[in-house]
Amino acid sequence: MSDRLIPLMRRYLPVLDWGRDYSRETLSNDLIAAVIVTIMLIPQSLAYALLAGLPPEVGIYASIAPIILYAIFGTSRALAVGPVAVVSLMTAAAIGNVAEQGTMGYAVAALTLAALSGGMLLIMGVFRLGFLANFLSHPVIAGFITASGILIATSQLKHVLGVEAHGHNLIDIVSSLIAHLPETNWITLGIGATATAFLFWVRKGLKPLLLGLGLKPKLADVATKAGPVAAVVVTTLVTALFGLGDKGVSIVGEVPQSLPPLTMPDLSLDLMSVLFVPALLITVIGFVESISVAQTLAAKKRQRIDPDQELIGLGAANIGAAFTGGYPVTGGFARSVVNFDAGAETPAAGAYTAVGLAIAAVALTPLVYFLPKATLAATIIVAVLSLVDFSILRKSWTYSKADFAAVLATILLTLGMGVEMGVSAGVILSLALFLYKTSRPHVAEVGLVPGTQHFRNIYRHKVKRHPSLLTLRVDESLFFANARFLEDMIQDRVAKDCPITNVVLMCSAVNEIDFSALESLEAINERLKGMGVGFHLSEVKGPVMDRLKKTHFLDELNGQVFLSQWDAMQTLTPKVGS
C-alpha cells in the first residue's frame, strides 16, 4: 500500500519532492528572492486591488494564502502567484454587473468569483484536462493581452488626472476622460506624471547608471526592482508633509492593520449562475498566462512543469483567496521573472514572500495612509504597457493571414466591446481557426524522385509519375471536419483526368481515422469502383490499420493496401517504378 501511496502523494504534493533536497544554500537563495519580490509586490498588490475595484488591502490578502497553497501544490520552481493586471480588469468587469463598487456585495462577489474559478481549475486538474489550454491560439491570446494592456493603462488615467471616469471599453473610457478633462486636479497630474516618468526611467536607465557608479550587479538589480517602492515612499511623504489630501489629491486612506480575515463566498445558485461564464473566462486566461510563464522559466533550467498539477496548484490558490478576503489570482509574468532572476530555486521562495507580505499587512499598512492613488495608477500603467506588443500583428500578417485576422479581430473587439467580449472572441476565434485549418488539410500529389524510393510533391520537385496513377499524400489525421474535403478533392481530380485508372492514398502522416472519415473512405471507394478506378492505400500506420481491420472496409476495398508507396508504384506502374 505504501509503495503506491508515496508516488501518489508526490504527484499531488510536489512539495514532498523538492522538499527532500532542501539545503541551507537553497534556503539562502530563496530568502533573497523573497525579499526582492516582497518589495515589488507591496505597491503592486495595492494597485491591482484598486484596478479590480476593491479596497487596496485586498491585493495583499490575495497574495498571502494563495502563494502558500501554490507552493505546496504547484510544480513550477519560480512562478509567483497573486493578483495580475488582466485578471484584475476581468474581475472588475465581471462583478461590476452584479454589485456597486465599495459595497459588501461587491467584495462578496469577488470572493465567489475566486471560489468558482478555483473549483473549475481543481476539476480540470483532477480530470487531467490541462491539454484544453492548447486549443487557445497563442497569437490570439497575445492580441487579447495587448488590447487589455491598452484598456488597463487608459482606465488608470483618471487617477493620474484626478477625475471621475467610467467605462468598460476604450471608446467609453476615452469619451468619459475627455468629458471630465476640465476637472483635472493639477497637483494630482503632477504627481502621477512624475511617478510614471520616474518608473519608466527606472526600468531602462537606473541599472546602467548604478553599474556605472561601481555598484555590484546584484545590488543594482535589487535597487531597480525597488523603484516602485521609492516612488511610493517619496510621493507619500510629499503628500503627507504638504497636506495634499486636503487639496483634492485622492489618497489610499486607512488600510486595516491585520492578517487576511477568514471570509465566506456566497455560493447561492443565483450569484453563481451570473458569475459562471466570467469565472470560466478568467480560469482559461489565467491558466494560459500562468502555464506559459511557468514553462518558459522552467525551460531555462531544464525543469519539468506538469500542466495538470498546475491546474490543481492554481485551483488551490484561488480557493485560498476566496476564504481569506481575496479575489481571483494566477501566475504573474513580471513578478515570476523577478523571482526567477533573483535566484529563487524552489516554491518555498513564494512561501517566504507570503510571510513578508503578512508582516507588511500587520505592521506597514498605516504608512500608506497618504499614498496617492495616482502613484498606484502609475505603477499599473508602467507594468501593463510592457504587455502591449503590436509586433504580433506584423508577425502574424507575414506568416499567416488567417492568424492575423483572428489577432486583429480579438484586439478590436476587446478595445471596442470590453474585456469579456474580447476574451470570449479570443476563445471562439481560436477554436474557429483550429477547425478551419484542420478542415482543409494539406493534400499533396506526389511522384517518385528519380534514383530514389522517395516520393515528393509534384509542384516542388522534379519527379517521375504515370498518367494512369494518382498518388495523394494526406498530411493530417482524417476526422469529421476534413473527411468531406478529401472526398470532394479526389472526386474533382479524377473527374477531370480520364487516363487515371488507380488512386493511391498515401497515409504516412495519418495518425487516426475516425468513424466519419471511415464513411468518407467507403464513399470514395464506392464512387471510384463505379468509375472503374482502383482505390489503394499505402504506408498505413499500425494503430490505424488495427482499427480498419475491425470494419468491413478492407474487405470491400477495390484495391490493395501496400506497405510502402514504392511497392504501390512497382505494382501499379512497373515501368515507372523500374
State the average pLDDT over residues 292-304: 79
- Stated as kind and residue range, the H or E segment containing 496 is none
Q: Rounded distance, CA 210 to CA 224, Å? A: 9
Percent of the chain predicted with pLDDT > 70: 96
**Residue whose C-alpha cell is 485508372:** 501
Phi and psi at 445, nearest 5°, equal -85, 125
Q: Tell me the three state secondary structure of residue 22.
A: coil
Q: Rounded distance, CA 222 to CA 216, Å? A: 10
Other beta carbons within 10 Å of 310: 27
Which amino acid, one-letter code, is at 407?
A: V
Alpha-carbon distances, residue 396 vs 261, 340, 390, 400, 410 (angstroms): 47, 30, 10, 5, 13
State the average pLDDT over residues 488-505: 88
Taking the CA atoms of residue 280, residue 281, residue 284 and residue 288 in that order, the dihedral angle to the nearest 10 degrees is -160
**Residue whose C-alpha cell is 479575489:** 327
**pLDDT tens-digit readout, 359-402:** 988 888 888 889 899 998 898 888 888 778 888 899 989 998 88
Q: What sign does the dihedral 205-300-381-321 (CA atoms) show?
A: negative
pLDDT band at residue 3 using 50, 70 and 90 as cut-offs: low
Q: How long a stretch of residues is the chain?
A: 578
**pLDDT tens-digit readout, 336-371:** 877 887 778 888 888 899 999 999 888 888 888 898
Percent composition of the chain: helix, strand, coil (DSSP 3-state, to 5):
65, 5, 30
Please report the pLDDT score of residue 191 as a whole number.
Answer: 94
Q: Is the pTM of this model over 0.95?
A: no
Q: Are 122 and 315 in contact (CB under 8 A)?
A: yes
Is residue 320 predicted with pLDDT exceeding 60? yes
Q: Which residues pair with 251 in a beta bridge?
A: 372
Strands 81-82, 330-331: pairing is antiparallel
Q: What sign does the dihedral 517-523-524-525 (CA atoms) show?
A: positive
Q: Are 61 and 325 in contact (CB under 8 A)?
A: yes
Please report the pLDDT score of residue 177 as a whole number.
Answer: 92
**Sheet bearing 443-448, strands edge to edge:** 455-457, 443-448, 469-474, 502-506, 534-538, 561-562
Task: List b or e across 353-390, with b for residues whose CB sees 16 or more CB atoms inside 10 angstroms.
Answer: bbebbbebbeeebeebebbbbbbbbbbbbbbbeebbee
Closest CA to 290 of 346, 246, 329, 340: 329
Q: Rounded distance, CA 300 to CA 104, Å? A: 44
**pLDDT tens-digit readout, 173-228:** 999 999 999 999 999 999 999 999 998 898 888 778 888 888 787 777 777 777 77
Q: Report the Cα 281 to chain-centroid distance in Å.
A: 11
State the average pLDDT over residues 10-15: 70
Q: Tell me the three state secondary structure of residue 94.
A: helix
For 208, the grid coordinates are: 546602467
Q: Rounded distance, CA 248 to CA 231, Å? A: 20
Which amino acid, one-letter code, is at 303?
A: Q
- Stated as kind and residue range, the H or E segment containing 504 is strand 502-506
Other beta carbons within 10 Å of 399: 11
Q: Are 91 and 282 in contact (CB under 8 A)?
A: yes
Q: Which domains does the chain have, with CATH numbers?
A: 45-186+250-361+387-433 (no CATH), 443-577 (3.30.750.24)
The DSSP line for 225-238 is HTHHHHHHHHHHHH
pLDDT band at residue 8 using 50, 70 and 90 as cut-offs: low
Q: Rounded distance, CA 554 to CA 574, Å? A: 24
SS (H, E, C) 530-551: HCCCEEEEECCCHHHHHHHHCC
**pLDDT tens-digit readout, 456-489:** 999 999 999 888 999 999 999 998 888 899 999 9
| Cα end-to-end span (Å), the chain | 64
User: How many helices and strands (H and E) does the chain possess?
Assistant: 28, 8
Please report the pLDDT score of residue 1 as a whole number.
Answer: 42
For 89, the grid coordinates are: 480588469
Mean pLDDT of the chain: 87
**pLDDT tens-digit readout, 156-165:** 899 999 988 8
Q: Are 147 and 422 in contact (CB under 8 A)?
A: yes
Other beta carbons within 10 Å of 511: 11
For 253, the grid coordinates are: 486612506
**Residue whose C-alpha cell is 513578478:** 335
Please report the pLDDT score of residue 437 as a whole number.
Answer: 80
Longest dimension (CA), the chain: 97
Upper half-sphere CA count for residue 254 (Cβ side, 13 Å): 3
Q: Rounded distance, CA 513 to CA 547, Å? A: 8
Please report the pLDDT score of residue 449 as a whole number.
Answer: 93
Other beta carbons within 10 Å of 467: 11
**pLDDT tens-digit readout, 55-69:** 989 999 999 999 999
**pLDDT tens-digit readout, 76-121:** 888 889 999 889 989 998 998 888 888 889 999 999 999 999 999 9
pLDDT band at residue 252 using 50, 70 and 90 as cut-offs: confident
Is residue 254 predicted with pLDDT exceeding 90? no
Please report the pLDDT score of residue 326 as a whole number.
Answer: 94
Instruction: Supply angle C-alpha 314, 315, 317, rounded to 5.
Output: 60
